[in-house]
Amino acid sequence: MRRSVPFYAAASLPPLLVYGLTRATTWALDSLYTIDSAEMVLAAVTMGIDHPPGHPLYLLLAHCFSLLPFSVPDEGVILCSSVAAAAASCLLASAVRTRTGNDLAALTCGWAFAFTLVIWFHATIAEVYAVQLACVAGFYAAIAHWVSDRHPAALILSWFALGLTASANVLLSALLAPVALYVVWRSGIHSPRQLANLLASFSVGASALLYIPIRLNGDGFISDFVFLSGHKPGSLRWAIWYFSAEEFTATKLTTTPLSSFPSLITAYTGSFLENASPFMAILVLLGVYSAMRSVTHEKGGDSAWQRVIAPSGPKPYHFEIALILGFILTLIPVLPYDVADREVFYMPSFLHLALLGGVGIWRLLDTIRSSTFPDAAKPWAGRLIAALIPIYLLASHYGTVQAVASDRSEYETRKDRFTALPKGAIVTTTDDGRATRWKYWQTVLGMRQDVSIETMGRLAPRYQSEQADAQATGAAREIAPSLNVADRLRVLKGLLAAHPDRPLFTILDDRLPPELDHFRVRRADFDPRLLRISAKPPPETSPGPLASTISADTDHFAPVDIIGLDIRSLDGGMSRGFPNTVPLKWRVISGIIQRSEFVEIDVVAMKREPGQYFAELVFVDEDMRIPGGRGFTAARSLEIAPEALRVGHYLRDRITIKIPAFIPNGHHTVAVALNRVSSGQTGTYRGKAVKQMDAVPATRQWAGQARYQPLARIWIE
């Protein structure tokens, strides 16, 4: 044991020291990796509940660290990540040392993992992943002891570590369960008593999951995502939804075509090379090769396949086979994740590659010892090669991590924005993701208690589930999940009515939720990322013609004639409509819309036939596609002819839109489709009839179809 103390100190203290030097002091950084950090600080400090699939072990540990005497609790929560990542490095080194008996290979593995770029980042911020990785590292350290020493306690500890992994992330534990079962099967363990001991050990490790139902009705912060399913919180169905994170993970793998996997694997390989270096990739290949040779060169008459799967008692090379299996299981489900921070989901598989790389460096050092090098040079050659990778990673990544983690400008900017809110302001958002960063200032730092932050996810859940099934009939059962727009609209109207003297704002969202179409929205003069919400002026009606800057062709639709448009910027930019067409890039246009600018579009129409009609305005590019992405679609709906509008009368109404910067610029057509509210109904929802909408065909063809008709050609800048 005394000989082990210097080893464990060497494995853990250098990473912990480096993490301490590069550790962030606030949750808010200019990094995608900190997108959920405010939520983690809030949930940890208040012993609350975060988004699915839940991370109770992390919240318990981070809460303890938040009690340390730092200037703000953020620093304690971040220190939890640093300690957990250093522990993961130490446990990986322990696993390789146990398997190989080589301290140098073990330390190289631990340090290389610690200084892998994405791992290093998550050791310096308020996030859950370092704790998860420490649990997985403990799982493999115990397996290494079991297959090498055959100590029964090691196998029990591996299942305890698997339970801890479940309490840190249920999904990750589920992915690793086949690895645990493989080790048990290969070890020839079939005794019910032994299996019961393993399950009991797992249950003890997973007992932290009880934190979620215990704190569900507590006074801590609870993420809006907890309520989004519409299932009763705490029910069995809700628990399945929450712990499986089915809303985020349910269909991605099954909907990804096999033909796309080569490109996904290529992207993954590039990510590993960038984060862990090509040197580490070479060692991983050596580790895999070593595992295959161990299987094929084992003495005995069994085939290589039988040696992999048949029960034979634990053998040392089972460790590498378990690593390869775990790597596959943790990689394939996350490959299809097309998100900006997808490297976050690669980290468990990177851990497996680090362990395989540790086996690879062991084999490389053995090769050097048996080579024809001069005996005096062999130890130094091995040490030099082993030290090269962690030193290279440390030198190449230190500046990158330090620059991001030490930059407090994002934190100070967000603090200034919160402080600048008018007295008594009400801030809303469609879900808790954005609002959490505002709640932090109130809940953690106690600032601006006069401000109210309302999150629509809790007030108007995305899904109604049992409630919708009980209150909806007919086809309304199918469309009930989308009716939360009406709920959010009701909430916003209620806030305006209940607090007429308090300014109401919403956090800017590229998607511009459809309920905002029913209000007048303007960018806040003190904060360009906030929208001021006020009552929308009623549409202008007239028995005579109403003027418009852009004239549209007549006779698009028989029941309603769309007369024309007006385009104007709400931000003082270049967006506008032209009374006469102007040439631009070999075409003529009637208007220009600048991306990232709030634009108001007035639509003038004349009603020709009785009824209630809605217009769907869309932007169509040169390939007849409606641009969109990241939850945004360039389309808006407008009641263009209310039932109360007389036939022959005119109406002017408006929509507000912001084309995000990621939409390509170029020529577009503003097109319109018309829908009539029919006398039929698809069912009832909350006691009210859900009316049926029928598409109104156009009086002429455009681009081979009669659903949409062109109103004006514009340029998106």
User: What is the predicted pLDDT for the residue at 478?
Assistant: 42
> What average pLDDT does the structure give for the chain?
85
Domain spanning 541-716 has what CATH number? 2.70.50.60
- pLDDT (average), residues 309-318: 61
User: What is the predicted pLDDT for the residue at 378?
Assistant: 66
Segment 673-701, tens digit of pLDDT: 898 887 665 555 445 555 677 889 988 88
- pLDDT (average), residues 160-182: 95
pLDDT band at 480 (very low <50, low <70, confident <90, very high): very low
User: What is the predicted pLDDT for the residue at 461?
Assistant: 47
Closest CA to 575 of 611, 549, 608, 551: 549
* 3-class DSSP string for 452-477: EEEEHHHHCCCCCCHHHHHHECCCHH
Q: Is 188 helix (H, G, I), strand (E, B) or coil?
A: coil
User: What is the predicted pLDDT for the residue at 300?
Assistant: 53
Q: Is 340 helix (H, G, I), strand (E, B) or coil?
A: coil
Q: What percent of the chain has pLDDT over 70?
A: 86
User: What is the predicted pLDDT for the residue at 330?
Assistant: 94
Segment 485-506, tens digit of pLDDT: 666 777 788 888 889 999 999 8
pLDDT band at 156 (very low <50, low <70, confident <90, very high): very high
In the predicted model, is pLDDT for residue 217 greater than 50? yes
In the predicted model, is pLDDT for residue 310 greater than 50? no
Segment 13-31, tens digit of pLDDT: 999 999 999 999 999 888 8
Distance CA 24, CA 14 (A): 18
User: What is the predicted pLDDT for the residue at 163?
Assistant: 97
What are the start-end ranges of the H helices in 124-235? 129-149, 152-168, 170-186, 192-205, 211-215
In the predicted model, is pLDDT for residue 702 greater than 60? yes
User: What is the predicted pLDDT for the residue at 462?
Assistant: 45
Distance CA 624, CA 387 (A): 57
> What is the domain partition of the chain in residue ranges?
17-405, 409-535, 541-716
Segment 430-472, tens digit of pLDDT: 666 677 888 899 999 999 999 998 876 555 444 444 444 444 4
User: What is the predicted pLDDT for the residue at 485?
Assistant: 61
Segment 519-532, tens digit of pLDDT: 888 888 888 888 89
Distance CA 426, CA 698 (A): 44
Residue of higher predicted confidence among 640 and 79: 79
User: What is the predicted pLDDT for the residue at 313?
Assistant: 52
Q: Is 48 helix (H, G, I), strand (E, B) or coil?
A: coil
